[in-house]
């Protein structure tokens, strides 16, 4: 099995974690959004030292590509690409919206029916969200996009029972729907990230270091203070 370094600085809470054999063995988090840049390198050194694992023993670097904070995405990806290049290790890129979708399946209090869709939403200010809709196997039904939500847009998207997750879903609670809509307040964890990374590792789905970039979805998105 593989040993992964996981870097996630896309959203309000940053995660640096170490995964081995599909399980998280070390983790540090940072809830100070504007200090992710100073947090990340110290956290990497700390989690590696804590598990007595040398950088060269890593099998792959895992990083969230967005969407999310403009600055956070640049910080995380630049660090991940630098380590992957220096070690000549593969880089595995993950979607924050896809991670939220996978988390919804784990967080749901009951077994999710296959007819249910999962709407992942990240706040993008005003009535705009970064959103994507997935089926229960985390396959995209509606691709990632920046969208302005109103009742008409909502009606076009909610055409079957839906689970909503992510901080963007707070903008939708006043909308009405003819289908059952369930709201989850949870978020993805480092375990969700390593589960997704393991699937990509097994499939040999790696990023091209020369061309991979952050998935901003729009020009600039900086999280409010």
pLDDT digits 0-9 by tens, 189-224: 999 999 999 999 999 999 999 999 999 987 654 455
- Reported as a single tens digit per residue, the pLDDT across 79-131 is 999 999 999 999 999 999 999 999 999 998 777 888 999 999 999 988 899 99
Do 3-95+188-203 and 97-184 come out as alike in CATH topology? yes
The residue extents of the domains of the chain are 3-95+188-203, 97-184
- Reported as a single tens digit per residue, the pLDDT across 42-85 is 999 999 999 999 999 999 999 999 999 999 999 999 999 999 99
Q: Which has the closest alpha carbon to 40: 94, 65, 76?
A: 76
Fold of the 97-184 domain: Nucleotidyltransferase; domain 5 (3.30.420)
Q: Tell me, what's the pLDDT at 221?
A: 44
May I ask the CATH class of domain 3-95+188-203?
alpha beta
């Amino acid at each position: 099995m593989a040993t992964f370094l996981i870097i996630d600085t896309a959203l309000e809470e940053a995660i640096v974690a170490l995964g081995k054999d599909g399980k998280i063995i070390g983790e540090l988090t940072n809830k100070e959004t504007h200090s992710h840049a100073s947090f990340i390198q110290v956290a990497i050194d700390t989690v590696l030292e804590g598990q007595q694992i040398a950088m060269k023993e890593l099998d792959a670097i895992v990083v969230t590509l967005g969407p999310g904070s403009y600055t956070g995405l640049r910080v995380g990806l630049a660090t991940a690409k630098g380590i992957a290049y220096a070690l000549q290790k593969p880089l595995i890129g993950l979607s924050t919206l896809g991670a939220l979708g996978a988390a919804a399946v784990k967080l749901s209090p009951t077994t999710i029916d296959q007819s249910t869709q999962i709407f992942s939403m990240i706040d993008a200010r005003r009535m705009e969200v970064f959103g994507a809709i997935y089926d229960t196997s985390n396959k995209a039904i509606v691709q990632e996009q920046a969208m302005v939500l109103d009742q008409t847009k909502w009606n076009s998207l909610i055409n079957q029972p839906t689970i909503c997750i992510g901080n963007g879903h707070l903008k939708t609670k006043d909308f009405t729907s003819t289908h059952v809509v369930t709201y989850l307040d949870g978020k993805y964890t480092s375990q969700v990230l390593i589960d997704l990374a393991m699937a990509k590792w097994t499939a040999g789905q790696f990023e091209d270091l020369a061309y991979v970039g952050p998935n901003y979805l729009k020009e600039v998105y900086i999280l409010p203070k």
